[in-house]
Structure formats: C-alpha cells, structure tokens
C-alpha cells in the first residue's frame, strides 16, 4: 500500500466515529399543549395553532415536537397532565383557561403561555399585565375590566341617540 492511500485510510477511519456521532438526531424543541377539554372540543384552536407554527417554519415532527394532553373537562386531570408535561421536560407549555393556573403550580421554571384567560392578575397568574414577571405570559380577554367601559359607552350612546 502506498503512503498516501495509507494516510487516507487512517484519516478516514479516525474521522468515522466523529461522523457517526454527528449523525445522531438531536432532540427537537418540545411544546407541551394542555387542553382543558377533549381533543375534539379544542380541534379548531389546535388546528390554527399548528397551522400558524407551520407558517412560521416550525413543523411538528420535523423542527419541533408537540406533546398533547387533554384534561377532558376535569380539573384534577389538568393537574396530572401539567405535572406529566413538566416531567417530560417540555421547552414551553401552552394552555388556556383555568389550566394556566394549574400549569403555574406545576412549574416555576418551564415557560407557560396562556390564552383565553379573563383576569390573569386577579387569578394570580401574573403580577401585572404590563410586566407579568415569572415564567407565565399570555393573552387576556380582560372581560372584567372592559365590562365597566362597555356600560359607560352604552350609557353615552343612549344619551346621544
């Protein structure tokens, strides 16, 4: 065997374990999705969520993994499911309604994003809307705060009309 062939062979053999190690699939970032009802009840919101993630380049099974858990309308099941998602070490937990409070109780480290919460400050989810603090953030309906404003607008409209 000539010298160059030998060096090529040895060099290739030395690099082979590194190449094999580099081919190991990396763990995908994981979203924990905690639904308060059953999968069928949340289907429109779940579909919209997955579609928007895909539009942003985050495709389930390719660039991210989504772990779904459904509480089936039972509060005690929400707590179990939130704890399970935390044990799975999800990178972020997405939920809504009262399950957001249960998720916050399950972890003070995992980022939690909520939707469909009436009063996150009143529920104790966040310190304030301007600066939520902690590991919890999301969208608020603000129905309690807006009720008074709506009534004032209605009374003003009656006076004008």
SS3 for 116?
strand
Enclosing domain of residue 103 = 30-146
Residue 16 lies in a domain: no
Residue 64 lies in a domain: yes
- Per cent of the chain over pLDDT 70 is 81
CA 141 to CA 114: how far, in whole Å? Answer: 11
Q: Are 36 and 73 in contact (CB under 8 A)?
A: yes
For 138, phi then psi, to 5°, come to 165, -160
pLDDT at residue number 60: 96
- Per cent of the chain over pLDDT 90 is 53
Residue 134: pLDDT band with limits 50, 70, 90: very high
pLDDT tens string 58-70: 999 999 999 999 9
Pairing mode of beta strands 112-117, 136-140: parallel
Q: Are 35 and 85 in contact (CB under 8 A)?
A: no
pTM of the model: 0.73
Closest CA to 118 of 92, 93, 100: 100
**Close Cβ partners of 32 (under 8 Å, ≥ 6 residues apart):** 67, 69, 85, 86, 88, 90, 92, 93, 94, 110
Q: Looking at the 3D structure of the chain, how many domains does it have?
A: 1
Residue 156 lies in a domain: no
CA 113 to CA 138: how far, in whole Å? Answer: 5
> In the predicted model, what is the mean pLDDT of the chain?
83
Q: Is the pLDDT of residue 10 over 60?
A: no
SS3 for 94?
strand
For 27, phi then psi, to 5°, come to -70, 130
Residue 74 lies in a domain: yes
Q: How many helices (H) and strands (E) does the chain have?
A: 6, 5
Residue, of 12 and 61, whose pLDDT is higher: 61
Q: Is the pLDDT of residue 49 over 50?
A: yes
Mean pLDDT throughout 84-99? 94
Residue, of 10 and 131, whose pLDDT is higher: 131
pLDDT at residue number 5: 54
Q: What is the CATH number of the domain that holds 47?
A: 3.40.50.2300
Closest CA to 132 of 98, 100, 84: 100
Residue 151 lies in a domain: no
Residue 24: pLDDT band with limits 50, 70, 90: low
Residue 12: pLDDT band with limits 50, 70, 90: very low
Q: Is the pLDDT of residue 151 over 90?
A: no
Residue 17 lies in a domain: no
Residue 2 lies in a domain: no
Residue 1 lies in a domain: no
């Amino acid at each position: 065997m000539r010298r160059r062939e030998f060096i090529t062979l040895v060099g290739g053999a030395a690099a082979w374990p590194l190449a094999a190690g580099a081919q190991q699939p990396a763990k995908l970032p994981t979203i924990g999705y905690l639904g308060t009802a059953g999968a069928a009840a949340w289907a429109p919101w779940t579909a919209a969520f997955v579609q928007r993630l895909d539009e942003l380049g985050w495709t389930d099974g390719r660039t991210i993994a989504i772990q779904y858990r459904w509480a089936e309308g039972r509060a005690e099941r929400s707590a179990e499911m939130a704890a399970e998602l935390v044990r799975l070490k999800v990178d972020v937990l997405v939920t809504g309604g009262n399950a957001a409070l249960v998720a916050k109780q399950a972890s003070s480290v995992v980022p939690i994003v909520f939707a469909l919460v009436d009063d996150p400050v009143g529920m104790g989810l966040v310190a304030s809307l301007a600066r939520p603090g902690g590991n919890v953030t999301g969208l608020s309906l603000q129905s309690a705060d807006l009720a008074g404003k709506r009534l004032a607008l209605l009374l003003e409209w009656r006076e004008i009309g």
